[in-house]
Amino acid sequence: MMKIMFVCTGNTCRSAMAECILKKLIKDEKIEGVKVTSAGFSVTEAEMNSYARKALNELGVKPRKFLPKQITEKLLKSHNAIICMTKKHKDALYGFNNLYTVSELAKIDGDVIDPYGKDYEAYIETAKLLYKSCSIILNLIKEELKT
């Protein structure tokens, strides 16, 4: 079983959206043997941000009930790939294996900017960037599953 975890600060916007998007893409492709989760460094809220949920719906991704999760050492060690939204997140996890940033995997410039506290347009921009990035990550997963 390939286990992938997206990581951001609060696990209510970026990593939550990335998790939902990649799950949808995997389901659409009927790929089995891949589990996708997400977690945050400082989880303080009990659910996904409403703008994040709305942005996902606009892109055709139906977010299920989502509960933000706090990063733990056990959680980190149980995943094959940990995909961080920023280089700062990746640096904070130094010492763990299989650390990546979205930008490294998807070949995009810079970090995935945090839309938290911004207007809805910022969430849509982030969701679109994550959708594009997750499509590229999906292709990497398919290649990995072939080997």
C-alpha 137/C-alpha 68 separation (Å) is 22
Q: Give pTM, 2 decimals.
A: 0.96
Provide the number of structural domains found in the chain.
1
Structural domain containing residue 130:
2-146
Average pLDDT over residues 115-124: 97
Does an H or E element contain 91, and which?
helix 87-92
Q: 19-58: per-residue pLDDT in tens?
A: 999 999 999 999 999 999 999 999 999 999 999 999 999 9
The 3-state DSSP class for residue 59 equals coil
Annotated catalytic sites, by residue? 8, 14, 114
CATH of residue 89's domain is: 3.40.50.2300
E strands, the chain, are: 2-8, 34-40, 81-84, 99-101
Residue 85 has pLDDT above 80, yes or no: yes
Question: How far apart are alpha carbons 88 and 90 in whole angstroms?
Answer: 5
The total of other beta-carbon atoms located within 10 Å of residue 18's CB is 29
